């Protein structure tokens, strides 16, 4: 057991194989780093020390071993994207493996674990709009369990169950032909939703995996980015092309700013990113609110007669989204998307999706809120 612990002490939440796609001068060993908190730019830092933590997935090594096996299987899929401009075929095993990797990459990030701690604290201090007392804290037990090693294992391994709910999404490669490179962060899968942003939808989160209008942006190296998107809402390039060239510098800048807003504190890049460019992007990113901040709100429940139900309320548990009024060259709304109507549900789901995994709701009544005591 001690030998196993020693081998897995440094546990990367962004795989080293993925970081190597952005390595300095393609050396496969070092990567550029900018620390957002202290404004420090380092052109070349060891990949082994980047985007990792000690025993992040526990000391048993079981989850780290499982993640390593997933990475070994996934690496050729993503390398083929930027090396050969080759995407998985639709309705193939490779497509499922690609989507599985994306979901795990999102769920394994420390931001997810930190949000659970924040939710726990917020729930404990949230007051009922009906009684004025604290709301029930049974959700705290759930949050605590998810933070444990057992909870992390269960969450990540069950990610495969989410894949059927994103298999409807289409995907293309965005090819950056400008002089500025794509960059990544300590949370590189940037999940956005231009559609719900435009509709000013503000409940819980616009980026649940089942959300209507979902977009996932994942930089693959300095020149290529994978875009996974809701094809019932967006048109990306021409219908037949799987690789869409972007020569509009402002589009590249906006996509890079998403990495700043989605990050905790670290931006990474290769030799093509100058200190001036990274710091300029950082300054621009300060205009916007960062994503991934936890919040808890209390809502009264409509009684359908113009009033509210006197003894019921709903607890909204969510995270802040990135909202920069994103406009990217060759990503456009389909004309039919104008006619899409939003319903009165908290979650605006795509057709065929039966879950909204990223969001948590709790409906409380007089009995469990303490009003009946």
Place 73 in a pLDDT band, splitting at 50, 70 and 90.
very high
Q: How crowded is residue 93: how many other Cβ atoms within 10 Å of its Cβ?
A: 9
Average pLDDT, the chain: 89
Structure tokens that stand for 189 in this block? 């899968």
User: Helices (H), strands (E): how many in the chain?
Assistant: 11, 16
Percent of the chain with pLDDT over 70: 93
Q: Span 188-214, mean pLDDT?
A: 91
Q: Decide if pLDDT at 366 tops 50.
A: no
Length of the chain: 373
pLDDT at position 2, please?
41
Q: Decide if pLDDT at 121 tops 80.
A: yes
Half-sphere exposure for 123 (CA within 13 Å, toward CB): 23
**Which tens digit of pLDDT belongs to each residue from 241-280?**
999 999 999 999 999 999 999 999 999 999 999 999 999 9
pLDDT at position 355, please?
59
Structure tokens that stand for 372 in this block? 């009946």
**Which tens digit of pLDDT belongs to each residue from 206-226?**
888 999 999 999 999 999 999
> Running DSSP on this structure, what letter comes out for residue 373?
-
Question: Which residue has better confidence, 141 or 230?
Answer: 230
Task: Report d(CA 7, CA 59) in Å as an integer.
Answer: 10
pLDDT at position 20, please?
98
Q: Decide if pLDDT at 368 tops 90.
A: no
pLDDT at position 354, please?
73
Lowest mean pLDDT segment, chosen from 241-250, 280-289, 298-307: 298-307
Strand 170-176 and strand 243-246: pairing? parallel
Beta bridge partners of 163: none
**DSSP per position, 81-132:** HHHH---PPTTSHHHHHHHHHHHHHHHTSHHHHHHHHHHHHHHHTPBPTTTS
Q: Span 26-37, mean pLDDT?
A: 97
pLDDT at position 1, please?
36
Place 111 in a pLDDT band, splitting at 50, 70 and 90.
very high
Task: Report d(CA 142, CA 136) in Å as an integer.
Answer: 12
Output Rg (C-alpha) for the chain, integer angstroms. Answer: 21
pLDDT at position 147, please?
81
Percent of the chain with pLDDT over 90: 65
Tell me which range, 3-12, 116-125, 350-359, is most confidently predicted by mean pLDDT: 116-125
């Amino acid at each position: 057991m001690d030998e196993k612990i020693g081998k897995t002490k440094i546990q990367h939440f962004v795989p080293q194989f993925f970081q190597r796609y952005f390595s300095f001068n393609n050396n496969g060993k070092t990567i550029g780093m900018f620390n957002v908190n202290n404004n420090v730019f380092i052109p070349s830092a060891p990949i082994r020390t980047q985007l990792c933590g000690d025993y992040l997935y526990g000391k048993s090594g079981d989850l780290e071993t499982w993640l390593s096996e997933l990475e070994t299987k996934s690496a050729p899929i993503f390398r083929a994207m930027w090396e050969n401009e080759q995407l998985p075929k639709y309705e193939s095993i490779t497509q499922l493996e690609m989507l599985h990797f994306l979901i795990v990459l999102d769920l394994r990030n420390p931001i997810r674990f930190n949000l659970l701690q924040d939710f726990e604290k917020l729930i404990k201090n949230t007051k009922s709009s009906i009684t004025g007392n604290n709301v029930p804290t049974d959700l705290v037990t759930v949050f605590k369990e998810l933070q444990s090693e057992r909870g992390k294992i269960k969450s990540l391994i069950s990610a495969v169950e989410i894949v059927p709910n994103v298999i409807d999404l289409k995907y293309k490669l965005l090819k950056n032909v400008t002089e500025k490179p794509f960059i990544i962060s300590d949370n590189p899968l940037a999940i956005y939703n231009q559609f719900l942003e435009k509709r000013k939808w503000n409940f819980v989160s616009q980026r649940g995996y089942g959300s209507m209008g979902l977009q996932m942006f994942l930089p693959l190296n300095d020149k290529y980015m994978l875009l996974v998107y809701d094809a019932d809402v967006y048109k990306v390039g021409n219908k037949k092309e799987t690789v869409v060239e972007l020569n509009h510098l402002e589009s590249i800048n906006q996509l890079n700013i998403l990495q700043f807003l989605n990050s905790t504190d670290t931006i990474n890049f290769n030799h093509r990113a100058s200190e001036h460019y990274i710091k300029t992007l950082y300054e621009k990113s300060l205009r916007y609110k960062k994503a991934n901040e936890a919040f808890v709100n209390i809502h009264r429940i409509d009684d359908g007669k113009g009033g509210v139900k006197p003894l019921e309320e709903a607890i909204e548990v969510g995270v802040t989204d990135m909202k920069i009024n994103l406009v990217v060259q060759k990503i456009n709304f389909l004309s039919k998307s104008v006619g899409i109507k939003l319903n009165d549900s908290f979650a605006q789901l795509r057709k065929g999706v039966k879950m909204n995994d990223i969001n948590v709701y709790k409906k409380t009544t007089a009995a469990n809120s303490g009003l009946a005591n």
